[in-house]
Structure 1
Amino acid sequence: MKRQHCMPFGAECLPDGKVRFRLWAPAAQQVSIIIDERAPIPLQPVGEGWYEHVSVQAHAGSRYRYQISNRFGVDGLCVPDPASRYNPGDVHGFSEVIDPTAFAWQDENWHGRPWEEAVIYEIHIGTFTPEGTFAAIEQKLDYLAELGVTAIELMPVADFPGRCNWGYDGTLLFAPDSIYGTPDDLKRLVQSAHRHGLMVLLDVVYNHFGPEGNYLHTYAPHFFTERHHTPWGAAINFDGDDSRIVRDFYIHNALYWLEEYHLDGLRLDAVHAILDDSQPDILEELAQTVRSVLGAERAIHLILENDHNTAHYLARAQNGQADYYDAQWNDDAHHAFHVLLTSERDGYYADYNNEPIRHLGRCLTEGFAYQGEASAYRQDTPRGEPSAHLPPVAFVNFLQNHDQIGNRALGERLTLLASDDALHAATTLFLLSPSIPLLFMGEEWGAREPFPFFCNFSGELAEAVTAGRRKEFARFGRFHDPAARAAIPDPCAVSTFEQAKLNWQVMNQPAHAEWHMLYQTLLTLRQRIIVPRLHKIRRAHFEVLASYALYACWQIGEEAQWIVFANLGATPINLSAAPQGSLVYSNQKNSQQQPISEILPAFTVAWYLKEG
């Protein structure tokens, strides 16, 4: 089976064996193309800033780049294709013509999995295995399927500068970074994942380009707008003059990954930094287009990261299907968990300092903690929209992810920040709650390797990134001292990247094996007990029992309730009455799964199913 997403730009292999090259360069006076080191060939202007050339010499595997002369004094600048499908020489080098029909897909019977079944496992390709490649991940799929994961989420793979990066500094959004492997290597990974019953989701970045390797400013400045600004400078132009072409660039990018790579979904990074005053906005148009083009063929899942807690993007139709996006990463739930587990109050955790258990209860039963309330961390501005009407599966909850570990100065995991008893209890609460769970690679065996921020810039840019990273933490108490800030890992040092690599050799050690067994047990229970009932959940409520303890109940249709009593603190809690229903799971050590009585012990979470 062949799969190809045809695009109005980039290098397209035509049925007659020719290759069509097309570039939008409205600021250029002349555009030429260099194919396989031959003499430059002028592209023909075809209107509205587009340049085109159909080549009889180029073929799959040909290397090419564009040569730009423009009215701003740039003459003969050589640039890669912004829609390059592959750039084996990194972001400044030649692009390569890829014929997507050359890959023979063999997963035509795969139609995806329902969103309710999702258990997501977030992976950074470069640090998940010693090899750091797509092919190496493929060798771990048996392990992930046996763990109970149903979806792997790859951190961004779009071509970035250098040999290592988190992925959020990508500049060639259609090209898998060559450090991880070839386009065919990524396709083989997706195909193999489907054979294992695993969905594959990809993290994409549509709010900015990385600081190195983006040449669009020189020949297509209309791609950006000064009407809006982001932390990275001028915003992507989604609502000004020529924004139709820009919007199409990103919509085609989404369709390209989903169609040509047969991915099961996308996670859109930090969409609160996508600024668009048009109607429909780019997020709505992109989701509508994806669902209209591909939604009838198979299950496609779209996920947001959105600090604004904009609930209307998560709206459901009468049949329960998402109108736009299936779910949002729920930072509120993470932050409440984190404050309860670590007692940290710096930065954005300050918003959860007041009754963190109440914030957590609201997240578990209503979605967002902030549904329009003022956020002190954000200068008392209102944050969020009402979300209690949305189903639990509209929210992806987690105890750890790349951001919440890597945004720390030293990149520590929770295994170094919280007691084992508290973390054990939180894991039991998190994995058996109805919302979609996300694990960060290695979490399931209690990995202790840090995941600090790393990149591979050089020269003045590297110096600025290193200094900026350390300055960022100057307002935190433990880093007031310049000597303490100097100990923050240098993001551009190879050692910072290397220390983030998982150590698979420790998995069989007793302490790590115990964590692994806990995760496997809970995920098995989730698929057997919770997943079949998720579509019937109608409403939920919670009660605060103590400063570290809560009760929560989800109504399942008219006939059942899913109930939890959770104590994340070190003090036993007196209950007014013994819990009712059948005990499904309790994390009490040596409890032999005995129901709790009228006392909820320290660091204990007990789940009950009440039927009839």
Structure 2
Amino acid sequence: MTRLTALSAVLMIGAVAACSAGEGEKVGSSEADLWSSQRPGMGASIYDGGVSFRLWAPNARRVWVVGDFNGWYPEANELGNEFNGNFSGDVAGAHRWQKYKYVIEGPDGSRFWKSDPRAGRVENSNGSSIIHDPGAYWWHDGGFHTPSFRDQIIYEMHVGTFTSPFGGVGGWKSATEKLQYLAELGVNMIQVMPVAEFPGDRSWGYNPSFPMAPESAYGTPEEMKAFVDAAHQKGMGVIIDVVANHWGPNDLPMWCISGECLGNGGPYFYTDWRAQTPWGHTRPDYGRPQVRDYIKDMAQMWLHEYHADGLRWDGTKWMRTASGDGTDDLGNAGLDMLKWINESVASQQPWKLKSAEDFGGHDWLTKQTSWGGAGFDSQWDGEFVHPVREALIKQEDGWRDMYRVKGAIEHSFNGQATQRIIYTESHDEVANGEARLPERIWPGNANSWASRKRSTLGAAIMFTSPGIPLMFMGQEFLEDGWFSAEDPLDWAKAHNYHPITQLYRDLAHLRRNWHDNTRGLRGDHVNVFHVNNGQKVIAYHRWDQGGPGDDVVVVANFSGQWLSDYRVGFPRFGMWRVRFNSDWNGYSSDFGNTPTLDTDAVGGGQDGMPNSASFQLGPYSVAIFSQ
């Protein structure tokens, strides 16, 4: 059991690196002689006997800090001007959990109140900042090790709708109560959709107002840490989805922070055409050192203070180009910043997953920076989800294109399986005009036989293809409709469709090689050796090093026809055991229970393989074989 005692001084280090004024060093003021703080850290930093405050407001004339510690008197504690854009000071007697704000005098002499852009906790997006103690939580996860990239199975969670205690907004406490369920499901990484403070209580989270403060509607920072701690104790890591391609656009404490907007939102933001994003004129100015430090400190905060096991960067294409389509750029400022942050994480905690939602299809994105890349470990792969979903959703078997499915299975970045994240459902794929896969297969009848068969077919393809598999919450029990921040998961389905959940559990265990006979599903190698576009059958070989317990053969039937005595190639001679048959009626009483049996591969090769074997295969079904 460890306690973080130095975090107050370590995790909030940012643009203060440029600060030269020290404690006991008097700085000039036309209003009064003031003292700036020599203590490190931006925002509110607790020290023994008080709190130091430091705000970056480069065009402000004067700054005061007001709060519970001085009766909210506007002129009780003026901060010293460090003449580098920062204003700072020490307030003796201030302590954690007290509320505060800044009073800022702009260039024109007008005064206004602002919350702290670096607040680690807030009342809400319109409320006061709260003095946050990063070391207040006692951790119990000392024996935890983040799963290796090749072992990871990600479960994407929206905290606000994952549970609905008393019909309200879900939070960290109620989500913690479901962790045992997730551990038993077989996932070992939980990716939470953005959890930084946003306006209101219900949102996807991609509109952050306070990037460094956990969403108040979900609970306290300590409750978030308890969630991560409990997940670690059950063998699961936590990934934070972070947003830095824009902020807000509402309730932004950094907007016009100095009282001068510079034509847009002030020094935190671009003030020309580069400010424009699909979500408002709020793109951060990646070229300013103080803004770069702010974003880096935010990333490091999640990884160090909150013990997160990875970061998923939202919409990185909008950080490296202004239009998001690559036809223009931001002078490389955004990309250079991402490289810089990735290098920092890799040098300190290389086992933590740095992933990008980019959809540019670039291999260089997941190359090391020393090799000319951006330094990400993995990226979301649109070349997998769209062809596979299309093949599953088509109503007529004849419309399914097995060659596109082949391309989806084989696609890779730099030949490494873990450099892509693959899925059939994610928050974007089940909303924005789309819906849950069972719903898309048969609108209004998501629990139909066709929806159950074809959605689980897609799950089997995902778990057995090269890549880090990701499932969206509720996918494992046939959640229907589309995702909304207003609509919590229907946990009754977890009971009603628990056999389907068992199917997902079995696939997860095979993917993680729990039974020591499917190691190849964790490897880099794949060979799609059989494509029958007439009968809609595809077969592929997965392996790591090869040999018994490693080689895996997957055969998928994308048609509604039962296949008898179907023959494909096999890489090795001898008996191949059936490890999984999605047509088993234990997964659903109306599945066909086709007797896909162990089969003996004999010489006289086929499909470019040295051996071949035959078997039966049910409609819209997958069989997994290994030795």
**Which residue of structure 1 aligns with residue 444 of structure 2?**
none
Q: 2:376 aligns with which of 320, 325, 331?
A: 325
Paired residue for 1:28, among 54, 60, 63?
A: 60
> Are 2:447 and 1:395 aligned?
no
Determine whether 1:147 maps to 2:201.
Answer: no
Count of residue pairs the alignment pairs up: 525
Counterpart of 1:517 in structure 2 is: 502
Which moves more between the two structures, 436-445 or 525-534? 525-534
C-alpha RMSD over aligned residues = 2.9
Contact 2:566/2:615, CA 8 A, preserved across alignment: yes
Q: TM-score, normalised by structure 2?
A: 0.78
Larger radius of gyration: 2
Q: Which residue of 1 aligns with 2:128?
A: 94
Counterpart amino acid of 2:277?
Answer: T
Aligned to 2:349: 294
**Does the aligned pair in 2 maintain the 1:121–1:149 contact within 8 Å?**
yes
Contact kept in structure 2, 1:110 and 1:194, CA below 8 Å: yes
Report the CA distance shift for 1:501/1:530 in structure 2 as closer, same or farther (over 3 A): farther
Q: Residue 217 of structure 2: SS of its match in structure 1? A: coil
Tell me whether 6-15 or 185-194 shows the greater mean CA deviation. Answer: 6-15
| Residue 508 of structure 1, CA deviation | 2.3
Summarize the alignment of residues 225-264 of structure 1 with structure 2, pairs less than 5 Å apart.
225=270, 226=272, 228=274, 229-234=276-281, 236-240=283-287, 243-264=288-309
Q: Deviations over 1:417-444 (max 9, x none)?
A: 2222222222222222232111111111
Matched, 1:277 2:326: no
2:531 is the alignment partner of 1:544: yes
Residue 20 (structure 1) shift: 1.2
**Which AA in structure 1 matches 2:539?**
Y
Once residues 565 and 530 of structure 2 are traced to their aligned partners in structure 1, the CA distance between those partners, rounded to angstroms, is 12
Matched position secondary structure for 2:626: strand
Shift of residue 553 of structure 1? 2.6
- 1:414 and 2:465 matched: no
**Aligned equivalents of 2:159 and 2:173: distance in 1?**
10
Gaps (5+ residues) in structure 1? 346-352, 368-386, 455-496
Secondary structure in structure 2 of the residue aligned to 1:20: strand
Tell me the CA shift for residue 317 of structure 1. 10
Change beyond 3 A, Cα 1:358–1:317: farther
- Tell me how far 1:74 sits from its aligned partner: 8.0
| Amino acid across the alignment from 1:524 | H
Which residue of the partner structure matches residue 119 of structure 1? 153
1:462 is aligned to none
Partner residue of 2:455?
Answer: 423
1:307 aligns with 2:352: no
- CA distance in structure 1 between the aligned counterparts of 2:522 and 2:560, rounded to whole angstroms: 35
Tell me the alpha carbon deviations over residues 453-496 of structure 1, each in whole angstroms, 9 at most, x when there is no partner: x4xxxxxxxxxxxxxxxxxxxxxxxxxxxxxxxxxxxxxxxxxx
Structure with greater helix percent = 1
Structure 2 Cα separation of the partners of residues 524 and 404 of structure 1: 25
Q: What residue identity is the alignment partner of 1:50?
A: N
Structure 2 counterpart of 1:49, from 75, 85, 103: 85
Report the 3-state secondary structure (helix = DSSP H, G, I; strand = E; otherwise coil) of the residue aligned with 2:125: coil
Question: 1:183-582, aligned counterparts within 5 Å?
Answer: 183-219=221-257, 221-225=266-270, 226=272, 228=274, 229-234=276-281, 236-240=283-287, 243-275=288-320, 276-278=330-332, 281-295=336-350, 299-315=351-367, 324-343=375-394, 356-367=401-412, 387=413, 389-408=414-433, 412-418=435-441, 419=450, 420-448=452-480, 450-452=482-484, 454=485, 497=486, 500-509=487-496, 512-528=497-513, 532-533=519-520, 536-538=523-525, 540-546=527-533, 548-557=536-545, 559=547, 561-571=551-561, 577-580=567-570, 582=576
Say whether residues 1:103 and 2:140 are aligned partners.
Answer: no
Matched, 1:166 2:204: yes
Question: Closer, same or farther in 2 for the Cα pair 1:415/1:337, shift >3 Å?
Answer: same
CA-to-aligned-CA distance 1:127-168 (integer Å, 9 cap, x gap): 111120101111111111111111111111100011211110
Query: In structure 1, what residue type is equivalent to 2:294?
Result: F
Change (3 A) 1:605 1:439: same
- Tell whether the 8 Å contact from 1:398 to 1:438 is kept in structure 2 after alignment: yes
Q: Structure 2: how far apart are the matches of 1:542 and 1:267? A: 34
How far apart, CA to CA, are the structure 1 residues paired with 2:150 and 2:235? 14
Runs of 4+ off more than 6 Å = 573-576
The answer to whether the Cα contact below 8 Å between 2:402 and 2:538 also exists between their aligned partners in 1 is yes
CA contact (8 A) 1:10 1:82 kept: no
Alpha-carbon deviation of 1:364?
1.5
1:266 aligned counterpart, secondary structure? strand
Pair 1:7-2:21 in alignment: no
Return the alpha-carbon distance in structure 1 between the equivalents of residues 46 and 208 of structure 2. Answer: 28
Identity of aligned residues (%): 27
Farther-moved stretch of structure 1 (73-82 vs 179-188): 73-82
Which amino acid is 1:76 matched to? R
TM-score, reference length from structure 1: 0.79
Inter-partner Cα distance in structure 2 for 1:250 and 1:219: 16
209-218 or 531-540, larger mean C-alpha shift? 531-540
Does the CA contact (< 8 Å) of 2:594 and 2:618 recur in 1?
Answer: no
2:313 & 2:456 partners in 1: Cα distance? 30
Moved more, 217-226 or 301-310: 217-226
Match of 2:446 in 1: none
Q: Pick from 134, 138, 149: which aligns with 2:176?
A: 138
